[in-house]
Amino acid sequence: MTSSDVAKKAGVSQATVSMVLNKKYNVSFSKEVIRKVEEAAAELGYEVPKHRAKKEEKREKLLVVISPNLTNPYYVMLLQGIESRAAEQGFGIFVCNTQRDLGMEERYLKMMPQLNPQGIIYICNPSQCFMETVVDLAKRIPVVVINNQDERLEVDAVELDNSKLGRLMARHLLELGHRHVAYIAPPLTARQKQRSRRVEGFLKEFQKAGLGENVVIKAADEQIDRDIPGIDSEYKIGYNLTRELLKEHQELTAIVGLNDMIAFGIMDALHDEKYKVPGDMSVMGCDNTLFSKVKKVSLTTIEHFVIYKGMDACDIIMKKIKSRTKHYTEIEPVSIYHVEYEPQIVVRGTTSYPRDEKRKINKNR
């Protein structure tokens, strides 16, 4: 029996049969028409075909990565680690570049319900004013922050102790005999505490050696963080502030950049001012980015395993997804992961003994 058979018997259209038997009440029918259709269907033994339950909409295997910028190779390295691991698991990546702008970060966070990702990775500390939103998101989907250990977060984190990085840099220069040094950094604002932590760690080591007054901290103007960063923004910080330092402090024997990009700017400024590196001035960076390994650069820097951090963040997301889909107990487990790598110094060709120490060593020989 078909609905057309019922329609013939009841003397109505096939569409009417379909609407009456499927109880579509957006069209009104008289009681007589409804009775005729129902009786005809009963007499013919017609049953409305059961519609297959709509399959749940296929959810894209998507991870969202929130980044402050993509002008520094450090963030590109983090993305490389995340993407390589995500691809192994069949996940795609959607990158949200906030440009360190609060309005942009808020806009991306509001987009999360629409994007409906299976996980979110912040490759920087979330802005403090949005931490409550991030923690709330983490209750519904896995969220991992590759953070800078400002404080213990209530979400999963792959951490970095910036103070430890600063101390490592300082110890290396102190062991070489440097007593008058400078540290060049981007703006040291309250919003960018991780930068200050690295500088503070460096300064404390020199203070312990009784040389705290011999450290010059040179930070860029706050306006730089308000502008959209160019691909050479941090390089320019290193270059321009080094030119200023050389005019103001003739006693310096080493200059440190908060990261490799700043260190490259330092090296170029020294080259233009006819300083030899490391003969006249030692230079250090941090992050061990690709260009620091180039032989003509050969930058002494700090390795803190950036690509591995990206992979770990992705691994944590995968573990959380599995724990929410496979239950081994009646209660869903609640876990907070905290992963941290020990930074290591990579000594290359841009650091050596200061000028006076070299003379002493040569005389002793």
The predicted-structure confidence for 91-121, as pLDDT tens digits, reads as follows: 999 999 998 899 999 999 999 988 999 999 9
Distance between CA atoms of residues 237 and 262, nearest Å: 6
**51 lies in some domain:** no
Residue 177 half-sphere exposure toward CB, CA atoms < 13 A: 11
Judge contact between 283 and 263, C-beta under 8 A: yes
pLDDT surpasses 50 at 287: yes
Question: Using an 8 Å Cβ cutoff, are 93 and 83 in contact?
Answer: yes
Domain check: are 265 and 211 in the same one?
yes
CB neighbours of 316 closer than 8 A, spacing ≥ 6? 142, 144, 156, 158, 337, 339
Q: How confident is the model at residue 218 (pLDDT cuts 50, 70, 90)?
A: very high
For residues 296 and 175, what is the distance between their CA atoms, to the nearest angstrom? Answer: 25
Residue 115 tokens, joined: 């994007």
pLDDT, average across residues 178-196: 90
Residue 28 lies in a domain: yes
The CATH number linked to 330 is 3.40.50.2300
Number of domains present in the structure of the chain: 3
Q: Which of 233, 235, 228, 234 is nearest to 268 (CA)?
A: 235
Q: Tell whether pTM > 0.75.
A: yes
For residues 188-214, average pLDDT: 92
Structure token digits, residue 199 = 């500088």
Same domain, 318 and 196: no
- What are the pLDDT digits (tens) for 225-234? 777 777 889 9
Are 168 and 275 part of one and the same domain?
yes
Domain presence at residue 135: yes
11 and 114 co-located in one domain: no
- 10 Å Cβ neighbour count for 70? 15
For residues 283 and 168, state if they share a domain.
Answer: yes
pLDDT exceeds cutoff 90 at 189: no
Residue 37: name the closest of 6, 69, 78 by CA: 6
Answer whether residue 340 is part of any domain.
no
For residue 54, the model assigns a pLDDT of 46
Contact between residue 121 and residue 79 where contact means Cβ atoms under 8 Å apart: no
Q: Does 358 lie in the same domain as 235?
A: yes
Structure tokens, 190: 């309250």
What pLDDT does 321 receive? 87
The whole-chain average pLDDT of the chain stands at 88
Question: Quick one: 153 and 171 in the same domain?
Answer: no
How far apart, in whole angstroms, are the C-alpha atoms of residue 99 and residue 189? 16
Are residues 145 and 181 both part of a single domain?
Answer: no
Q: Which domain holds residue 152?
A: 62-160+306-334
Residues 205 and 190 in one domain: yes
Which range, of 5-19, 116-130, 146-160, 297-311, averages the lowest pLDDT? 146-160
In the predicted structure, residue 50 carries a pLDDT above the cut 50: yes
- Phi/psi at 245 (5° precision): -60, -45
Question: What is the band of 288 on the pLDDT scale with cuts at 50, 70, 90?
Answer: very high
Q: Do both 185 and 173 map to the same domain?
A: yes
The answer to whether position 55 is within a domain reads no
Please indicate, yes or no, if residue 262 is contained in any of the structural domains: yes
Residue 207 lies in a domain: yes
Does 104 lie in the same domain as 33?
A: no
Q: Which tens digits make up the pLDDT trace of 13-25?
A: 888 888 888 877 5
Q: Give the mean pLDDT of 162-185.
A: 97
Largest Cα–Cα distance of the chain, in whole Å?
118
Residue 175 forms part of a structural domain: yes
Q: Alpha-carbon torsion 56, 60, 66, 69, what sign?
A: negative
| Same-domain check for residues 198 and 171 | yes
Compute the radius of gyration of the chain from its Cα atoms: 32
